[in-house]
Structure 1
Amino acid sequence: MYIEIMETPKNPVSIDYRIREGLARIAMAMRLDDWNKAKGMGLNPTQLAILSLLLGREAGLGVKDIAAHLGVSQPTATDSINALERKGYLEKQPGQSDRRAVIVALTAEGLAAARVEDSEPGLAEQALKALDGGEQEALLLTLVKMIRQLQEAGEIPVQRMCVTCRYFAPFMHADAARPHHCHFVNAPFGQRELRVDCRDHQQADPTSRAATWETFQAG
């Protein structure tokens, strides 16, 4: 016989479960933002996500890589890529190392579409206004740590974050406001400026990534 155990303040579900519930609510609002923005552009959310993914990747990406970054199947990615190609937003090119492979890149029209910005902040941006500066910074650091965990476990591709970049030197400076250094632009920057998706990113090798993360965590 099945007996349902009700959740009470004295018998709560795990905190992991409750945090996941919270993230799911935020994700729902962000999906609604994506639907609204995509609809206004005559696209669907997957097509809009492909344009955003290719922004800053002048060399393009393969279909398999696009599917992996978006967490969709290759047939789903292919369907959206073909639709964007018909709209003139994407072009297909043969791969350099394997001429049979297909590389997908933005056209000038696709680049312009990818750069379209909302005139009004989305639901997620509105929710962030409930956090003060310190809370926003703490949330950013938490997200970086969670994303890194997923990528190091092989669940998602390595992201273009500062902490995975060969140009990133954590806590190189004594200035508490700007302790980190970016060797790409040769300038210090602070915790609030940490990037989750930097277009100038160059992926560090696994050993360097591990050492950088250890220094970042220790700091």
Structure 2
Amino acid sequence: MSSESTGDVPGPPPASQLLIGLARLGQAVRMEAWRNAGPHNLSPLQADIVSLLAGSRAPLRQGEIVEALASTAPTVSDAVKVLRRKELLDASRDPGDARALRVTLSESGRAEAGRLSVVSESLGGAVAALTPDDFAAMMRGTVTLMRELQERRAIPISRMCLTCRFFAPKAHPVKTGRAHHCNFVDAPFGDAELRVSCPDHEL
């Protein structure tokens, strides 16, 4: 169905319907984040910071966290202060700029990141209900939308395959089911294995 034509179907056009659906899914993920506050009673933003640092190979400046999470400096600063009080973060001054603070996970923070990495039963069960073809199609659609939004500067750059120098799209026959190639690990892979966050990502 064209995104421009609704035919005889009532309601908002298809593009709006898709955005409504994505908003509902976002609400579900956020609600689950509140339910999964854990022993440290983390807010969704605090949990996002812990997860972001868990996927980083080096300490991050607060400004880098602001950019990565599309938040604001005061909001991230407050969240970092709370996480430090909860002893989930270690902080140090940036050697290149004594005014800048770099943060990384403490031992307790790494343990909490491990807990957060476990997908909830409700969200995991919903994803498991997708057929392999539907899952691959959703991954393909998700990374395509993210790349378009990144190019329009509507969201921050994500460490995903489509923006990575190691990604070679359709390097292999499509009929194999593993048409893409990752030059970092030198291996083919399919749409279902597309990454939206990868520690080995390089622009």
Q: Which residue of 2 aligns with 1:183?
A: 183
Work out the CA distance in 2 between the residues paired with 1:193 and 1:130: 17
TM value normalised by structure 2: 0.86
Q: Which residue of 1 aligns with 2:3?
A: none
In the TM superposition, what are the counterparts of 1:143-162 in structure 2 within 5 Å?
Answer: 143-162=142-161
Q: Which residue of 1 aligns with 2:164?
A: 165
Q: Give the AA of the match of 2:134.
A: E
In the TM superposition, what are the counterparts of 1:10-89 in structure 2 within 5 Å?
Answer: 12-89=11-88
CA offsets 1:109-158 (integer angstroms, 9 cap, x no match): 21121111577734333322332111111111100011111111112221
What is the RMSD of the two structures over their aligned residues, measured on CA atoms? 2.1
Q: Which residue of 2 aligns with 1:132?
A: 131
Q: Larger radius of gyration, structure 1 or 2?
A: 1
Native 8 Å contact 1:167 1:184 kept in 2? yes
Secondary structure class of the residue paired with 1:136: helix
Instruction: Report the identity percentage.
Output: 37
Native 8 Å contact 1:93 1:103 kept in 2? yes
Q: Give the AA of the match of 2:194.
A: L
Native 8 Å contact 1:29 1:123 kept in 2? no
Secondary structure class of the residue paired with 2:99: coil
Q: Give the deviation of 1:77 after TM superposition.
A: 0.7
Work out the CA distance in 2 between the residues paired with 1:105 and 1:179: 37
Secondary structure class of the residue paired with 2:146: helix
Q: Which residue of 2 aligns with 1:202?
A: 202
Work out the CA distance in 2 between the residues paired with 1:181 and 1:136: 19
* Greater displacement, 107-116 / 132-141: 107-116
Q: Give the deviation of 1:10 after TM superposition.
A: 5.9
**Uncovered stretches (5+) of structure 2, i.e. residues with no partner:** 1-7
* Greater displacement, 56-65 / 130-139: 56-65
Distance 1:112 1:29, change over 3 A: same
Work out the CA distance in 2 between the residues paired with 1:201 and 1:111: 21
Distance 1:162 1:30, change over 3 A: same
TM value normalised by structure 1: 0.80
**Uncovered stretches (5+) of structure 1, i.e. residues with no partner:** 1-8, 204-219
* Greater displacement, 88-97 / 189-198: 88-97
